[in-house]
Structure 1
Amino acid sequence: MKRKIMIVEDSHTVRRMLTQAIVQQTNLDVDAFDTLDATSDIAVDDYVVALVDLTLPDAPHGEAVAVLLTRGVPVVVLTADVSEDKRQSWLEAGVLDYVMKDSRHSLQYAVGLVHRLYLNQSIDVLVVDDSMTARHHTAAQLRKQLLQVHEAGHAKEALAMLERYPAIRLILIDYYMPDIDGITLVRMLRERYSKQQLAIIGLSVSDKRGLSARYLKQGANDFLHQPFEPEELQCRVSHNLEALEQFNSIQESANRDYLTGLYNRRYWFKTGQQWLQTAQAGRYPLSLCVLDVDHFKQVNDHWGHAIGDQLLCHLSDQLSQFFPDALIARFGGEEFALMVPHCSSQVLCKRLEGLRQQLRQRPLALDIPLYVRASFGVITMGQLGMDEALIEADRLLYQAKTTGRDKVVSQDEAQLEIAR
């Protein structure tokens, strides 16, 4: 995705404040210019959006807006004055939005708008409307917001689109459509997707009483009368996408271990059960490892709990690097688990041995000569249930602990030891 933001503003104060706020709050890259001429030699394809002042020394009458729009850069106007006529002319010219240079709130609005546009580059939306003219108009407005837009002319096509493009996160649905109307389609979608998975905005040109309420009662997140103002569409879309993102952020936090950032035990069991069912149905190997840091109490007693926490984070980072294909969780304390699909216990043991050797060679920090030592129990799950598999992996982990620690023990090795 594009990460660069352009600011064209002759006020040093405004330019500096915008630059600092965008960099600090969004971590995006900013190029700031004080004249239109300064932008003439740059590659405009690199920019998400340009924030452009209307009165520049070499473009005193808004010429910079027209020039940058012609060059294909999405533009947000920076202005100290706005009237209805000016606002309408900007929007008709293709300007995304305008920001008043009159308060700190306006500065925050600009930062939020920039961040929203940056995120929109990777968000898929769907417009469902049997009127090609209305559908294309709505889609064009959404594309101006840098969203990835798909279109459908009726409900069945919309359902097919959602199957084809599972990344769609927002759908705008007109009411009047052949065979299946918009409200019926909303009801059908809510049987498959929750409000946290898919946001729905109802659309209609009708002023029929109660239509918006019927949309909302069937599960729509929002409703918008047509024809709508571009700014209203932008605000409704942005608010619904932000609500989805906030929910996903909260859900992600609930699924993560607070210290290491790995998944927690609850999420691992829930998702792991799905992985196991899929592997058993597909008849491919799924291997499980339970591991435990050796002598962790001694680490805490000697080095302190802060260093102990660093050690757990160090191990977590190494696990994530060595096993990008695995479902990894901190079970609690110094115990971890990972599940790797399409991987036999023999292969997993080899990969874990590589991790174990790496841990032995890499200290926690240059000034902390502390190395992670861990024991591992490994099995291929086969037709075992989750509880049975964990009991067996725990047994193998215990065998590793009681036969010297700092080793990987699998089913095959355990059986070989018994035979001896």
Structure 2
Amino acid sequence: MKKLLVIEDNKSVASVIEHIGTSAGYEVTVAHSFAQVKALLAKQRDFFIATVDYSLPDAYDGEVIPYVLDHDIPSVIMTGRMDDKIHRKLLQLPIVDYITKENSQAYRYLLKVLHGHLTNHKISVLVVDDSLSARQHFCRLLKRRNFTVYDQPDGNKALQTLEKHPSIKLLITDQEMPGMSGVELVQTIRKKHPERDLVIIGCSGVKDDFQSARFIKNGANDFLKKPFCMEEFYCRILKSIEELRYIEKIKATADSDYLTPLLNRRAFIEKMNNDFTDVIENELSYIFAVLHINNFKEINDNYGQDGEDLVLVELAKLLKAHFTSQPLARLDGSKFACLASGLETEEIEASITEFTKLVSQHNISFKEQTITFSISLGGTAVNKQTSAKQWFEQAEQALQQAQRKTGTQVVINGLAELAKDNEQVSLA
């Protein structure tokens, strides 16, 4: 656990911040005075972040802030008083943020800041500006908030970096650059990266009123006018990241099966179509499989809706555990799908057969009863199909063959043809 240092003389406020820090996932240490901070930091310095009260009984005018910063601890300043002098002073310091202790909204904002400091490293940001000093300034501000940062001096190099690092979720670009302007860069990026996948913020120091509209009309999410205030920069960045996370959450909800943690039919088919070329050209072997729970109606008749749902959830868990990191879906009702991969087709076939046996041996405890079930599975060896649609058609046909038989059955078509093709390639 990352460590949070809470410096606050008001014990009630300190207790609230401690609770917020704990709920965000921190191990919290509290100090109530500047003297306690000095004694604490003399022994311990591995704090990930600190909340620092501006006024302490023995440090009324913010003297504790530079002391904590000198120990390389990122700091969020909490203050109960604010005027122009204090505001200017705080903006000149390399702090994470400042929060005025006015109402409950301030503490909700603090939770966002603390949570963001734990998770922002997962978000990569690309800064594009031909001015070295401007790039360095952007990067310092972003790293202060714990983002992973890349920077490039022009549009062409920015496109290469974007291609190399798909984890980049935010791009900040200047307008006036040699070779490719910021607006041209935005236009090029939007051909491949929609707004739901990548946030773009344009910026410019030119005093033209139309620059912001020009950027946004060409696909940017927001605009910053240089020079900008640190506060405005962070507000715009965090708002954009929050919107991106919200969109990702909506998309994840839309793509997921309502009962199990697997993809739903629509999202899975979309993924298979998108991945089709990579799968066909990949050196790995693949079997696309569709599986169905045998006698599923009887499970509902014997155990009701709750028992039926439990079987579906358990099967999804077994799939995730057995076919680790491989595409899985609940297609509908009691039908699931998997794109299983391995070095050899025989290896995948053995794994699939092993899975069906594992399912038939699995016992589920339900209301002092034990539920057992089995599956039938139809698959096709992925080789020369012209579309992912053919995977489904061929696997469904194989499943129908398996279901005509009794008990747990596995039918995988196309293995002989694949072996023959591989033999011909080997002889050639």
Query: What's the TM-score, normalizing by structure 1?
Result: 0.90
| Alpha-carbon distance in structure 1 between the residues aligned to 2:345 and 2:43 | 54
| Alpha-carbon distance in structure 1 between the residues aligned to 2:71 and 2:207 | 40
| Alpha-carbon distance in structure 2 between the residues aligned to 1:399 and 1:46 | 62
| Alpha-carbon distance in structure 2 between the residues aligned to 1:258 and 1:42 | 50
2:137 is aligned to: 137
Unaligned runs of 5+ in 1: 416-420
2:315 is aligned to: 315
1:97 and 1:316, CA in 2 relative to 1: closer, same or farther beyond 3 A? same
1:241-252 equivalent positions in 2, closer than 5 A: 241-252=241-252
Deviation at 1:219, TM superposition (A): 1.1
1:192 is aligned to: 192
1:195-210 equivalent positions in 2, closer than 5 A: 195-210=195-210
Deviation at 1:312, TM superposition (A): 0.5
Deviation at 1:339, TM superposition (A): 0.6
1:194-343 equivalent positions in 2, closer than 5 A: 194-282=194-282, 284-342=284-342
Moved more, 81-90 or 315-324: 81-90
2:403 is aligned to: 401
Q: What amino acid does structure 1 have at the position aligned with 2:167?
A: A
| Alpha-carbon distance in structure 1 between the residues aligned to 2:43 and 2:192 | 47
Moved more, 169-178 or 393-402: 393-402
Deviation at 1:60, TM superposition (A): 4.7
1:19-418 equivalent positions in 2, closer than 5 A: 19-24=18-23, 26=24, 28-35=25-32, 36-37=37-38, 39-40=40-41, 44-45=45-46, 47=48, 49-56=49-56, 59-282=59-282, 284-342=284-342, 344-365=344-365, 367-384=368-385, 385-411=387-413
Deviation at 1:154, TM superposition (A): 1.6
1:7 and 1:280, CA in 2 relative to 1: closer, same or farther beyond 3 A? same
Give me the identity figure in percent. Answer: 27
Deviation at 1:81, TM superposition (A): 0.7
Moved more, 28-37 or 245-254: 28-37
8 A contact 2:3–2:26 mirrored in 1 = yes
| Alpha-carbon distance in structure 1 between the residues aligned to 2:280 and 2:241 | 37
CA shift digits 1:299-335 (9 cap, x unpaired): 1111110111011011101101111231100010010
Deviation at 1:243, TM superposition (A): 1.2
Aligned-residue RMSD, C-alpha? 2.4
SS class of match (1:203): strand
Q: What amino acid does structure 2 have at the position aligned with 1:129?
A: D
Deviation at 1:377, TM superposition (A): 1.6
CA shift digits 1:262-306 (9 cap, x unpaired): 101111111112333222234642211111111111111111101
| Count of aligned pairs | 411
8 A contact 1:325–1:340 mirrored in 2 = no
| Alpha-carbon distance in structure 2 between the residues aligned to 1:114 and 1:205 | 32
8 A contact 2:202–2:223 mirrored in 1 = yes
Unaligned runs of 5+ in 2: 418-428
1:12 is aligned to: 11
CA shift digits 1:144-202 (9 cap, x unpaired): 11111111112222222212322211111112112222222222222221111211111
Moved more, 38-47 or 367-376: 38-47
8 A contact 1:45–1:72 mirrored in 2 = no
Q: What amino acid does structure 2 have at the position aligned with 1:106?
A: A
| Alpha-carbon distance in structure 2 between the residues aligned to 1:344 and 1:194 | 37
8 A contact 2:162–2:168 mirrored in 1 = yes
CA shift digits 1:104-133 (9 cap, x unpaired): 111111111222222211111111111112
SS class of match (1:238): helix
8 A contact 1:8–1:53 mirrored in 2 = yes
Query: What's the TM-score, normalizing by structure 2?
Result: 0.89
1:150 and 1:65, CA in 2 relative to 1: closer, same or farther beyond 3 A? same
Moved more, 368-377 or 219-228: 368-377
